[in-house]
Structure formats: C-alpha cells, structure tokens
Amino acid sequence: MTYRKRIATLVMGDSLIVLTAIFISYFLLVPLTNPFTLMLLFSSITLLIGHHVFAAKYKLYNKVWQYASVSELTGIFQAVTLSVILTGAMQLVFFQAITLRTLVITWMIHILFIGGSRFAWRLYRDGFIKQTENKTNTLIIGAGAAGTMVARQLQQSHESELHPVAFIDDDQTKQKLEVLNIPVIGGIDLIEEVVANKKIEHIIIAIPSLKRGELNKIFLECSKTKAKTQILPRIEDVMSGKVSVTQFQDVEVEDLLGREPVELDIDGIEQYIKGKTVLVTGAGGSIGSEICRQISMFFPKELVLLGHGENSIYSIEMELRRTAPNLNISTEIADVQDGEKIRAIMLDHQPHVVFHAAAHKHVPLMERNPEEAVKNNVIGTKNVAEAASEAKVNTFVMVSTDKAVNPTSVMGATKRIAEMIVQHMDIISDTRFVAVRFGNVLGSRGSVIPLFKEQIQNGGPLTVTHPDMVRYFMTIPEASRLVLQAGALAEGGEVFVLDMGEPVKIVDLARNLIKLSGYTEEEIPIKFTGMRPGEKMFEELLGADEVHGDQVYPKIYRGKTPEVNINVTFDMVERFQQKSREELRRELLDIANFRVRDLVVLGRVE
C-alpha cells in the first residue's frame, strides 16, 4: 500500500470511528429523542476536525502500528482527549451548555475504537502469526535492557526464526518474574537444566557490559549443552547502524580471553604520529599490518610499508588505500638482512618513528634453522636500528616476545639478543630505542589458532603438545595498540610489557574452539603429541631480576634489564656462519641467558 493510500484509509477509518463513537454515546443516554439536533451535529463536526488535527500533531498516521507499544498508546490518549476537550469547549462557547456525560462516553468509545483499530495488527502478529510459525526455542541470558530489547525484537519480527521462551539472569530480584511474558527462570547455574527442559536450540548472551572472564564462565555453562551460542553485536555497531540488534554474532576465541583490553592514551599516541613520517618493517605480517591499520587512524604525513613479501605488502597497501583514501602510502620491498638497502630507504624517507615488526617467529622452524633466525632476528634488527640511528629517527619501537625471557628456544634467544642490540643503540644514539614484549597473539601467523581451525576443517584431531601447557594470549589489534602506546611512553632503553592477566591452558583453548565450531570432542578429538624442542611449559613476561613494580601506564610495566657488553654479541654475529647448528644454538642460548663471561658489564639499569 502506498503512503497516500495508507493515509487516506486511516483518515476515512478514523472519521467513521469518531462519528460512530459520538452517536453511540448519545443513543446510550437519550435513545428515544431525535438524534439529529443542532448541538449533536455541531459536536460531531467539531470532534471530527479536532481528532484529525491532533492525530496529525501526534503523528498517528505515520506510525508503524505492527510494532506499536506504550508510546503509541500515549499518542492516541493525548489526541483523543484533546479533541474531546475541544468539543466541550466549543459547546460551551456556542450553546452555553455542555453535554458532559455524552462527551465522557464518547471519549471512552473513541479511545477503545481508535486504539483497537491500531493495535489489531500487532495483536495478530504477536498472537496468531507467532503461534503458527515453526520457530527455534531460544534462551536469552540477561534480562536487562539489552535482553529485553532482543526479546521484543524477536517477538515482533516476522522474519526471525528465533522464539524467546526463557531468560537467565543472576539478579535475584528478577528471578521468578516475567519480562514481556517470558519467565526469568534463574541464574547461569541453571542453563543446562533450562536448555533440556525447554528444548532450547539457541542461546543468546545479551549482556553488553559483560567482562571477558564472566563471558568465559557463561560460555562454559553453555558449552555443556548442544544449543548454538551467540552474543550481541557491539553496542557501537548497533548505534552506528552497521548492524541491527538481532544480527547476532558467533562467540569467538578472542571473546573468551580472561582479561580486559587496555585503554590507551589516544592523545599521546596522536601527538607523536600525526603529521609525521612513520615506517613499519614487516608491514605485510599479521602484527605489522595491524600496526599499519592502527597508525592510519592517527593521520601520519606518510606511512612507509616495508616488507620482504611482495604479495603481503600489496595486500595491506590495497586495503589501506580503500579504508584510508587520504593516507599518503609508500611501499618498499626489501629484506632487513640487506643493510645497504635498509640504510638507503631510511635516508630517503627520513621517518620520525620506526616500528620494527619484521622477524622469524616460528619456534620449531627456528630450532631447525638457527642461522636463519640469526640473520633475520639479530642481523636484521641490527641493520634497521643502525639505519634508524643514522637517519636520526626520533623513536624506534621493536616488537619482541615473552619467549625472550629466560629463553629455551633459538627464536626466543635471538629476540632477546635483538633486545640487547636495541638497548645498546639507545645508549650510543640520539634516537629513543625501546622494545615491547607480549605473549601469543591470537590469529597471527604462527599462532595456534589457525592451526587448530585447519585441523578442525580436516576433521581433527587437534594436536596439543601437553595437557598442562599454558600461554598468555592477546588479540592482534590489542598487541598493535600496545606497540603504539609504547612509542608514546618511550624515554629510551625500556622493555615494556603488558599485564596480560591469567595465562590460558592450550587444551582449554582447543576445547573452546571445537565447541565454537559446532562440534564435540567425540567428533573432533584432542591428541597430545609431546613438547617440541625449545618449547616451555609456561611463558614469562619478565624475568625474576627484571621486575619493576611500578606501572608506567595502566597495565603496562617497564622492565629492568642489565647493560651488556655488546661486543660479545657482535662477535657471535660475525662468526655465526663458522659454527655448526648445534654450536650456534648453544651459543645463542648462553648469550641470551647471560651465561657468557664478561657479558654483563655495568649491572642493572633502572
């Protein structure tokens, strides 16, 4: 029905209701007299005109009545009441009399008929249609504002396949009550029981303020059932119109991390990036590319994407040109092992800030190829750092890892030695050099998550090295934002670490991923393969002798590290190709763990 036809239909229908209401009220009071008196005709015309005027004022002809609620009923009440009051006032002016009882009954019939006509379609949708459709029984966790909004939308939506049948909420003041005729049965400890009793096939977690640790607890209860579990989209996405409240999202592994993201000093980050040239090495990698995405939001003068793989650099360049069309982007295909090329690029672009994310990160591969770890992680870092110093870069931030603490692997050892080089450069250079350590990054290349997902696609099993192995985890965007924050906090020579909360068992991560993929452990089993060379049972973010008690920023710490005789490291770098892999592996670990005589020369640096 077109807009004009709809308006005409409503106006004609309301006119008939208005006239019917006033004539019925008159006949109820004076059924035997002549109905067509001058006052009655005058009152009918006045009431009719008044109704249409006030109906237009309160937009009764512009409402979508199939979604009518209390606010629409209030509009009807106001329009009808004011039109009846106007009619009474006009009677008093022109006839010096008022038919009060007739007007009261007219008001009652008027509201009943107008309201009934408007709410008839809503009652039909909520009653007949809902009962005849074959919908999926749905449990909503959270009977607050968000949960109520979700339930109302599902009840009103003809297209939705979900039918809310129960709420779960830990708030005892809501339990045993009903919201929108839906019972609030109890707390999260009853999820498994409710799913079984109500034949629930779908669970929606509708608590936007839920902390990740609490979400993990709720999801653990949901995972005991076979019901599909989803969560609300982010409130900011709903408010911006990107998604609707009923476009539920699958729970991701990132959502289950038992820690809250760190709030960053946006002004501080913007101050040292906005209007400046920024260079990122390893810009095509998972961490490097996300650093570039984050930088693009702070309006740099130029963003230089440096990487060895042309395809990955092309990919992030095209993405940034699409998402940040006004960003000045330069691309450089270069290997950090090529010192002369890196030096030329630095001198050409003269960056203000350098983020060094290029590195080999795969532990077992580097155990088998220690010489490549030295070339990329040690020599590559040395080349980039020296070139940055020569180009008079203001701030140099190196991406490090928790595996650099008391390293047991070649990868961890080379990253620790790279930290030593960066700290040495801070002493001899005017550039501020800092390093940032964090734990495993979910979804990054070399992360366990892509491996688990591939194994699930292949039907399993998921391979976990040891049932007690634990790791710290964070998301790629959060890791990248931490790197940017470190640049804003840098004074020079620091090793920044993030308070990453409680470590997570790898086997728990595997079980959650199996559940999130819609399988059970019977369908996708977990197989324990034993620890690989260089692996630790647990990781550390700071060594015992590096701990510095004070936070330099909420949840960000600065470690204390010894100043080293860098010549010992440089001597190893010059001679590394003369050694066997086993000799090289042993020497790397000795240097990284300070087991080499005369390595530490000046004691601790606060």
HSE at residue 271, side-chain half, CA atoms within 13 A, is 9
Residue 80 lies in a domain: yes
Q: Which two tokens stand for residue 427?
A: 């002493």
DSSP 1: -
Taking a C-beta distance cutoff of 8 angstroms, is the pair 194, 185 a contact? yes
Same domain, 155 and 43: no
What's the rounded Cα separation, in Å, for the pair 498 and 515? Answer: 29
CATH number at residue 156: 3.40.50.720
Q: Which two tokens stand for residue 69?
A: 């609620």
Same domain, 243 and 383: no
Residue 73 lies in a domain: yes
Give the pLDDT confidence of 9-22 residue by residue, as tens digits.
Answer: 878 888 888 888 88
Same domain, 438 and 556: yes
What's the rounded Cα separation, in Å, for the pair 57 and 51? Answer: 10
> Pick from 442, 438, 467, 466: which is nearest to 452 by CA?
442
Domain ends where: 129, 158, 175? 129
Whole-angstrom CA distances from 36 to 27, 105, 410, 477 are: 11, 18, 103, 77
What's the rounded Cα separation, in Å, for the pair 110 and 122? Answer: 19
Residue 351 lies in a domain: yes
Bridge partners (DSSP) of residue 473 are 440
HSE at residue 229, side-chain half, CA atoms within 13 A, is 29
Same domain, 545 and 494: yes
Domain ends where: 88, 103, 129? 129
> Pick from 112, 108, 87: which is nearest to 99 by CA?
87
What's the rounded Cα separation, in Å, for the pair 341 and 336? Answer: 8
Residue 515 lies in a domain: no
Write out 384-428 in H/E/C secondary structure.
HHHHHHHCCCCEEEEECCHHHCCCCCHHHHHHHHHHHHHHHHHHH
Same domain, 342 and 199: no
What's the rounded Cα separation, in Å, for the pair 404 and 373? Answer: 13
274 annotated active-site: no
Q: Report the amino acid identity of residue 197.
A: N
Neighbours of 366 (CB within 10 A): 28
Same domain, 237 and 385: no
Spans of the chain below 70 pLDDT: 1-3, 30-36, 63-71, 121-133, 158-159, 212-213, 233-247, 249-264, 441-447, 472, 499-501, 534-536, 538-551, 554-555, 560-561, 597-598, 600-606
Residue 115 lies in a domain: yes
DSSP 161: -
Q: Which residues contact 45 (CB under 8 A, 6 or more apart)?
A: none
Same domain, 177 and 316: no
Where do runs of H (alpha helix) occur along 171-222? 191-197, 212-222
Same domain, 216 and 304: no
Same domain, 216 and 314: no
Q: Which two tokens stand for residue 210?
A: 């839920």
Same domain, 197 and 183: yes
The SS3 call for residue 376 is helix
Q: How many domains does the structure of the chain reveal?
A: 3
Same domain, 55 and 192: no
pTM: 0.65
Bridge partners (DSSP) of residue 356 are 281, 398
What's the rounded Cα separation, in Å, for the pair 306 and 283? Answer: 6
The parent domain of residue 424 ranges over: 271-443+472-500+540-605
Q: Which two tokens stand for residue 40?
A: 């009655």
Cis peptide before 261 (omega within 30 of 0): no
Give the pLDDT confidence of 141-192 residue by residue, as tens digits.
Answer: 988 888 888 888 888 776 678 889 999 998 888 888 888 889 999 999 899 9
Give the pLDDT confidence of 235-254 residue by residue, as tens digits.
Answer: 545 544 444 555 676 666 66
Whole-angstrom CA distances from 19 to 73, 87, 94, 210, 211 are: 21, 13, 20, 55, 58
**Residues shown for the chain:** 606
Same domain, 108 and 153: no
Domain ends where: 83, 110, 129? 129
Instruction: Catalogue the E-assigned strands of 343-382.
Output: 353-356
Instruction: Catalogue the E-assigned strands of 110-244.
Output: 136-141, 162-168, 178-179, 182-186, 202-205, 228-231
Catalytic residue among 276, 361, 382, 403: 403
Residue 392 lies in a domain: yes
Q: What is the pLDDT of residue 442?
A: 66
Q: What is the pLDDT of residue 603?
A: 41
Residue 285 lies in a domain: yes
Residue 37 lies in a domain: yes
